[in-house]
C-alpha cells in the first residue's frame, strides 16, 4: 500500500486504520468495530476517523426525584466508566434517596458564555466602550440572533485590565449545550462593537468565558446550568442503608469536603462530583472537557433536631445539552432514552440528583470506614 503524506488523504476510516496497522505493526480490529457511519460523525464530531473506543456502561437506579408539587418520578442513570465500585456506589445512593421519599432538585439556566478580549486606547476609552455596550443591548441582541433562531442573549458582563477590555456574553441556547452557537453569535456582536466603538477584538475567546477550565468566576457567577439538590434522610435509613450515622456523615463532610478542600486550595468542596458527571457525560454524548467545570461545587450536611440528616449538593457550572454534539450517536441516544428526560432542564435535574446519590454513598463509606474494602471487592478481581 502506498504511504500517504497525511492521514487526511485517506478516504475512509478502514483505509486509514489499515495504513496505521501496517505502519506500526499493530492490530486495530476492536477499534474498527463500531455502529455509527462515517457520514454521521466526520465533519461534525471527529477528524481522521479510525473507529471508536468502548467504555463499559452500567446503570444505577431507580432514583426518585420529587417536584415542587411533591410528585415523584423515578429515573435510571446510565454510567460509562472503567472504575470498579462507582456504579455500585451510585446505586446505593439512589436507594438511600428513593427510600427517603425522593430528592428535591432546582435548576437555574444561567446561560452558556463566550468572552472575547478587545484592545482599547486606554482605561477611559474602555469605560466608554462599556457604556456603549450597556446602552445598546437590544441592538447587540438583534445582531446575535441573526446567527440562530434557537439562541437568545441574556446579559453581558465586562471587565478592564489596562488597555484590555474583557466582555462576557451569556446566551440561552435551549436544549443544546450551545458553545458553537455562542461562538457564532459572539463573533457577530464583536464586529458590531468594533465598528461602533473603534476597538479591536484580539481574541474571540479571551478566557473570560471561562470555558473548560476551573475558575472562581464560573463558581461565583455560574455558567450553563446551576443545580441544587437536597434530601432529608431519616436516621433509620442512614443506619440501615448507609451503615453509619447522621453525626458521622456530617463530621466527614465538614472535615473532608470543607476543611480538607480549603487546606488544599481546591475549587471543589465535594468528594467526587467529577466521577458521576464524567460517567454520565461519556454515556450520553456530552463534551467531556466540561467535566472540569462540573467538578466545581459544594456538598453540605447538617444533623437536624430530630437527628435526621439534611444533605445537599450545589453545582454552579454544569455545561450540558440534549441535542447537538455527541448526543445524536446511536449508543448515546439509547443512554439518553434510559433517562426518560424531555429537555435539558430535566436532564440537568437528574444529573444533579445522581451527583447527590454519589456523594451520599462515598461519604457514608468514608464515615463507616469501608472505602478500601469496597474497592478491593469491586474495583479489581480478587486473588
Residues catalogued as catalytic = 83, 287, 375
Residue 309 region, left (φ>0) first, then alpha (ψ -120 to 50), else beta?
beta
Q: Are 83 and 274 in contact (CB under 8 A)?
A: no
Q: Is 110 helix (H, G, I), strand (E, B) or coil?
A: strand
Can you tell me the distance from the alpha carbon of 39 to that of 118, in angstroms, rounded to the nearest whole number? 38
Beta bridge mates, 307: none
CA atoms within 13 A on the CB side of 190: 24
Q: Are 12 and 21 in contact (CB under 8 A)?
A: no
The dihedrals phi and psi of 304, each to the nearest 5 degrees, come to -80, 170
Can you tell me the distance from the alpha carbon of 221 to that of 219, in angstroms, rounded to the nearest whole number? 6
Residue 136: CB atoms within 10 Å: 17
The dihedrals phi and psi of 61, each to the nearest 5 degrees, come to 135, 180
Beta bridge mates, 172: 152
Per-state percent for the chain, helix, strand, coil, to nearest 5: 45, 25, 35
Amino acid at each position: 500500500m502506498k504511504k500517504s503524506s497525511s492521514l487526511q488523504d485517506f478516504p475512509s476510516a478502514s483505509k486509514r486504520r489499515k495504513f496505521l496497522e501496517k505502519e506500526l505493526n499493530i492490530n486495530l480490529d476492536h477499534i474498527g468495530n463500531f455502529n455509527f457511519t462515517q457520514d454521521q460523525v466526520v465533519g461534525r464530531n471527529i477528524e481522521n476517523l479510525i473507529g471508536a473506543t468502548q467504555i463499559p456502561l452500567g446503570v444505577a437506579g431507580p432514583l426518585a426525584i420529587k417536584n415542587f408539587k411533591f410528585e415523584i418520578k423515578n429515573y435510571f442513570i446510565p454510567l460509562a466508566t472503567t472504575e470498579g465500585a462507582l456504579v455500585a456506589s451510585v446505586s446505593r445512593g439512589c436507594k438511600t434517596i428513593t427510600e427517603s421519599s425522593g430528592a428535591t432538585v432546582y435548576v437555574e439556566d444561567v446561560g452558556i458564555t463566550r468572552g472575547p478580549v478587545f484592545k482599547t486606547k486606554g482605561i477611559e476609552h474602555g469605560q466608554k466602550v462599556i457604556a456603549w455596550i450597556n446602552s445598546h443591548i437590544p441592538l447587540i441582541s438583534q445582531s446575535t440572533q441573526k446567527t440562530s433562531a434557537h439562541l437568545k442573549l441574556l446579559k453581558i458582563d465586562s471587565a478592564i485590565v489596562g488597555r484590555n477590555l474583557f466582555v462576557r456574553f451569556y446566551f440561552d441556547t435551549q436544549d443544546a449545550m450551545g458553545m458553537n452557537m455562542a461562538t457564532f453569535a459572539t463573533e457577530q456582536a464583536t464586529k458590531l462593537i468594533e465598528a461602533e466603538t473603534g476597538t479591536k477584538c484580539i481574541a474571540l475567546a479571551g478566557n473570560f468565558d471561562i470555558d473548560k477550565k476551573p475558575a472562581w468566576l464560573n463558581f461565583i457567577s455560574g455558567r450553563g446550568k446551576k443545580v441544587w439538590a437536597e434530601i432529608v434522610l431519616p436516621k433509620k435509613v442512614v443506619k440501615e442503608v448507609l451503615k453509619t450515622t447522621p453525626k458521622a456523615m456530617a463530621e466527614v463532610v465538614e472535615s473532608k469536603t470543607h476543611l480538607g478542600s480549603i487546606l488544599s486550595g481546591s475549587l471543589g468542596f465535594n468528594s467526587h462530583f467529577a466521577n458521576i458527571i464524567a460517567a454520565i457525560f461519556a454515556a450520553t454524548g456530552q463534551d467531556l472537557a466540561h467535566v472540569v467545570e462540573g467538578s466545581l461545587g459544594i456538598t453540605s450536611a447538617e444533623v437536624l433536631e430530630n437527628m435526621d440528616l439534611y444533605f445537599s449538593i450545589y453545582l454552579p457550572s454544569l455545561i450540558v445539552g440534549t441535542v447537538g454534539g455527541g448526543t445524536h450517536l446511536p449508543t448515546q441516544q439509547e443512554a439518553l432514552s434510559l433517562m426518560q428526560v424531555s429537555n435539558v432542564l430535566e436532564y440537568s435535574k437528574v444529573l444533579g440528583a445522581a451527583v447527590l446519590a454519589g456523594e451520599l454513598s462515598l461519604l457514608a463509606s468514608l464515615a463507616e470506614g469501608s472505602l478500601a474494602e469496597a474497592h478491593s471487592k469491586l474495583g479489581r478481581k480478587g486473588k
